[in-house]
Amino acid sequence: DGGITQSPKYLFRKEGQNVTLSCEQNLNHDAMYWYRQDPGQGLRLIYYSQIVNDFQKGDIAEGYSVSREKKESFPLTVTSAQKNPTAFYLCASSSRVGTEAFFGQGTRLTVV
């Protein structure tokens, strides 16, 4: 079954620790995206990558980092520099000329 897998579904970390969220897709999509969701604010773009070994900042990239070493994988690291990291994180992918994004099931990160 083709799709996007995010893991883990729930993640707890202590303040000041870096944490990496996993996102894997087997849709053969070139482009991948990370969104952050907060109640009442919709989704906001953190980072995106249109091809392997290349990525661009989205609207709220501060305190986050990504890598794109493989087409299938686009991990997101939430660093200690992110002031308010507790949120629901969604990964998505689309084909290079695609007109729609496909989303994973999300990771809920809680920092205590």
Partner 1 sequence: AQSVTQLGSHVSVSEGALVLLRCNYSSSVPPYLFWYVQYPNQGLQLLLKYTTGATLVKGINGFEAEFKKSETSFHLTKPSAHMSDAAEYFCAVSRYNQGGKLIFGQGTELSVKP
C-alpha 100/C-alpha 80 separation (Å) is: 32
Q: Pick between residue 37 and residue 80 the one whose CB is nearest to partner 1.
A: 37
Q: Minimum distance between the CB of residue 76 and partner 1, rounded to whole angstroms?
A: 15
> Do residues 60 and 35 lie in contact, with contact meaning Cβ atoms separated by under 8 Å?
no
- DSSP state for residue 15 in the 8-state scheme: T
Q: Minimum distance between the CB of residue 84 and partner 1, rounded to whole angstroms?
A: 18
3-state secondary structure of 44: strand
- DSSP state for residue 84 in the 8-state scheme: -
Q: Pick between residue 82 and residue 93 the one whose CB is nearest to partner 1.
A: 93
Near partner 1 by CB under 8 A: residue from 23, 25, 48, 64: 48
- Is 36 exposed, middle or buried, given 0-12, 13-18 or 19+ CB atoms closer than 10 A? buried
Residue 105 in contact with partner 1, rule: CB under 8 A: yes
Binding site for partner 1 (CB under 8 A): 4, 6, 9, 31-33, 35, 40-45, 48, 58, 88, 90, 92-94, 97-106, 108
